[in-house]
A and B are shown apart, each in its own frame.
Chain A
């Protein structure tokens, strides 16, 4: 995994954005941008330099699942790996995220080890 990979973290709670940023920093990943919902995330993604998206589900404005679908529908963005980090824990929600093309799904509250493991796994699969 390249350490300078550009990552976008989307969550409406600044606490959670900071936690994820801290854990990414522990993995040596420091090129991180933030957005507080899907609506603010999309323009950043459309700029074209984001290589990995970590998003919450339940956000005002545009939710994470809507953002995921928008990303997969846009040919320019469709290839970006997406990790969902969310408190939504219903089976049908996880299935819906999988069907929408999510690359990983972490349920809050999570441990540092779990988040790191899921991120590693996504990058392993991407090769």
Chain B
């Protein structure tokens, strides 16, 4: 994220500054100029303050970008499916979409199981009719030598098939019960939605606060301007792009690779 290189610059600047002022401080003390020494100590103190403050700002922004990126990736993963979700939605909405989608799929699965169960009921009814026919064979068996044993064997087969129907019914019921994953995962996702929303809200207020303190304490006016602010605006990290139709945004990895190779990479 954006905080990486900037943060390193901030820290190395801090070290340079520290060394310079430390030397001046030693010189001032050696020459007995205590007033100048005190000024330098004050300067160092203030500089340390500014540096750490900027660091926290960078970390906050980095975290914020991470959450935005997470939200965009969630969307990207889903857009591969048949239905794509509107691209300008936030993390919470995307997660809600996951809940809705899994709910819909769970119901579709259960619709099919319901259909299958009614087919099983038909099998049961057919088995009952088969029983009637079978008793007819039982009666005929006495009259025809060639039919001997057929009744018993057919009865055994019929019982076997009834057991199969029973276990089929159990399997289908288990499929219905296993759809409860949708409820469990939905509850967990709802918790994550609350977490992400809270973290994002707090981050935004932290960034607001940081900006205000920066303005009030006059931090960054010279360091930021000389260092980075002029050029950093157009390339400031925004996380993965959601609005892909815009001309200044690449449409995919291929376009990124093309762009980079055109730049000699």
Determine the chain A residues whose CB is within 8 A of the CB of B178 once the complex forms: 109
The answer to whether A76 has its CB under 8 Å from any CB of chain B is no
B263 in the interface, Cβ–Cβ < 8 Å? no
Q: Would A19 and B176 count as touching, CB distance under 8 A?
A: yes
The interface-forming segment of B3-11, B181-189, B211-219 is: B181-189
User: Once bound together, how far apart are the Cα atoms of A109 and B188, in whole Å?
Assistant: 13
Question: B127 on the interface (CB 8 Å rule)?
Answer: no
Q: When each residue 7-24 of chain A gets 1 if its CB lies under 8 Å from chain B and 0 otherwise, what string results?
A: 000010111101100110
Interface pick from B30-38, B50-58, B103-111, B159-167: B103-111
Which chain B residues lie closer than 8 Å to A26 at the CB level? 173
A22→B169 CA distance, assembly (Å): 12
Q: For residues 12 through 42 of chain A, which have their beta carbon under 8 Å from a beta carbon of chain B?
A: 13-16, 18-19, 22-23, 26
Known interface pairs A13-B186, A22-B176, A58-B187; A109-B107 also in contact (CB < 8 Å): no
Q: Is the CB of A108 within 8 A of B177?
A: no
List A contacts of B183 (CB < 8 A).
Answer: 11, 13, 15-16, 87, 108
Query: How many residues from B make CB contacts under 8 Å with A?
Result: 19
Chain A, residue nearest B170 (CB): A112
Task: Contact check, B184 vs A110: say whether CB atoms are below 8 A apart.
Answer: no
* Residues on the A chain within 8 Å of B184, using CB: 87, 108-109
- C-beta contact mask, B92-126 vs A, less than 8 Å → 1, else 0? 00000000000100110010001000000000000
Q: Is B251 interfacial (CB-CB < 8 Å)?
A: no
B103 touches A22 (CB 8 A): no
**Which residues of chain A are within 8 angstroms of B173 by Cβ–Cβ distance?**
22-23, 26, 112
CB pair A108 B103 closer than 8 Å: no
Give the complex CA separation of A111 and B174 in angstroms: 7
The answer to whether B103 and A110 have CB atoms under 8 Å apart is no
Q: Which residue of A lies closest to B110 (CB)?
A: A18
A19 contacts B107, C-beta separation under 8 Å: no
Are A13 and B181 CB-contacts (below 8 A) given A22-B176, A58-B187, A112-B173? no
* Closest 6 pairs between A and B when the two form their complex, measured CB to CB: A13-B183, A15-B182, A16-B183, A15-B106, A109-B180, A22-B176
Could you name 27 residue pairs across A and B whose Cβ atoms are closer than 8 Å? A13-B182, A15-B106, A15-B110, A15-B179, A15-B180, A15-B182, A16-B180, A16-B183, A18-B107, A18-B110, A18-B176, A19-B110, A19-B177, A19-B179, A22-B176, A23-B176, A26-B173, A58-B187, A87-B187, A108-B180, A109-B177, A109-B178, A109-B180, A109-B181, A110-B177, A110-B180, A111-B174
Binding site for A on B (CB under 8 A): 103, 106-107, 110, 114, 170, 173-174, 176-184, 186-187
